[in-house]
Structure 1
């Protein structure tokens, strides 16, 4: 049996790494004495697989993990027992059984939605909104991506699925960006490219991931979606 859970990472734990988040969940599973299966080998590990890792400093209400169980357990009881043992700031929001042969979440997730706040010191709301529209109208948006092995010039325009800007007292963006094995764009990468395009001094102050999405029926849907419902389609 396999249970898929949606997990929140709140303000209290925003500065813990993805590995620390995984470790906290594993410890809670053991304390709750949940029947999560173990891998084989000299160092058995709990069979828990997470989806896309969240950047350090970000909060989320859309983290997902699959838990492979060694015996049947109702999803409601699973969530209740695990929530009692999780540290403040980490919580199971929803859970449901999925097919035992379901593909790994990391291989299926294709997009992520975010709410982002930022500050700009040398531009007014009107000019910034105009620059944002012009920025998105570009056929290509080239950024430099550097890894341990190489530096590449990457066109991120195809990775921007939806992007809305709200120039209020605190500048606010709602973003739907590609993530996963076929392409990955982080909110801070997009906004740094925008600040450079607009010739402004900007800073990202808060990133909150609202959900992850897989592709089903030609639509972006939640990894917990069972039916093709309008409120499960990838909107931000």
Structure 2
């Protein structure tokens, strides 16, 4: 049986890296007495995979982990038992059964929703939100993306799927996943450079709202995004 767990990450734990989060969950699952399955071979490990890892310093209410279990209690009881093992900074939000042969969370990710703001001491003067919205309206936004193989120029504009301003903050839906992963920092960096300014690596305050898959299989049609959480059903 495959289970998809949604969790939040906040407070001081936003500075804990992906590998530490994975080890943390391995211990918490054992303590919560979740009947997780193990791989075969000389070095068995818990069958567990995470969706797109969160960058250091970013909070989130849309993190996902898929696990394989032999049997399970209800979603409500499993959430209760897992949260009893969580330190402040991680909270289990949902625990849902996936259909058989579902694509795992990591391979499913096609987009991510973010809230983008500035730390108070780095907040730009004036109506920066409207300036940013206008900048994103350009027909092309060229950006030098650094990769392991060097840098390459990409157009960020086709990767902006949703854009709005709410309560002085920017709401973004950007392409995410293994094929192309567009971070909010790329857009803000390009925005600052368009004004002849440099973006401090400490300036942004980022919060991930959710991770989404694309149900549309025809590349010629607009994407049909859907929360990774919606692929599972609650266990009664």
Q: TM-score range by the shorter chain?
A: 0.7 to 0.9
Tell me the residue number matched to 1:124: 126
Aligned match of 1:76: 76
Deviations 1:122-158 (A, max 9, x none): 6421xx3453243122221111111222211111111
Aligned to 1:212: 211
CA 28–139 in structure 1, closer or farther in 2 if over 3 Å, else same: same
Instruction: Give, in whole Å, the separation in 2 of the partners of 1:49 and 1:100.
Output: 16
The answer to whether the 8 A contact 2:129-2:170 is kept is: no
Partner of 2:190: 193
Moved more, 93-102 or 69-78: 69-78
Q: Return 115-124 or 66-75, whichever deviates more.
A: 115-124
Alignment of 1:1-236 (within 5 A): 1-118=1-118, 123-125=125-127, 128-165=128-165, 168=168, 172-200=169-197, 202-203=199-200, 204-216=203-215, 219-225=224-230
The answer as to whether partners of 2:98 and 2:231 remain within 8 angstroms in 1 is no
Bigger Cα displacement from structure 2, 135-144 vs 202-211? 202-211
Cα gap change, 1:167 to 1:62, in 2 (>3 Å): closer
Distance 2:135 2:9 in 1: 31
TM-score when normalising by structure 2: 0.86
CA 1:150–1:97: 2 relative to 1, 3 Å: same
3-state SS of paired residue (1:214): strand
Mapped to 2, the partners of 1:188 and 1:144 lie a distance apart of: 12
What's 2:220 paired with? none
Length, aligned pairs only = 222
When the two chains are superposed, the root-mean-square deviation of aligned CA atoms in Å is: 2.1
Which sections of structure 2, spanning at least 5 residues, go unmatched?
A: 217-222
* TM-score (norm. length: structure 1): 0.86
Does the residue aligned with 1:225 lie in a helix, a strand or coil? helix
Partner of 1:181, secondary structure, is coil
Distance in 2 between residues matched to 1:133 and 1:86, nearest whole Å: 39
Q: CA deviation at 1:16?
A: 0.4
Using the TM superposition, give the Cα deviation of residue 121 of structure 1 relative to its aligned residue in structure 2, in angstroms. 6.0
Q: What is the CA distance between 1:55 and its match in structure 2?
A: 0.5
Q: Contact conserved, 2:133 with 2:164, CA < 8 A, in 1?
A: no
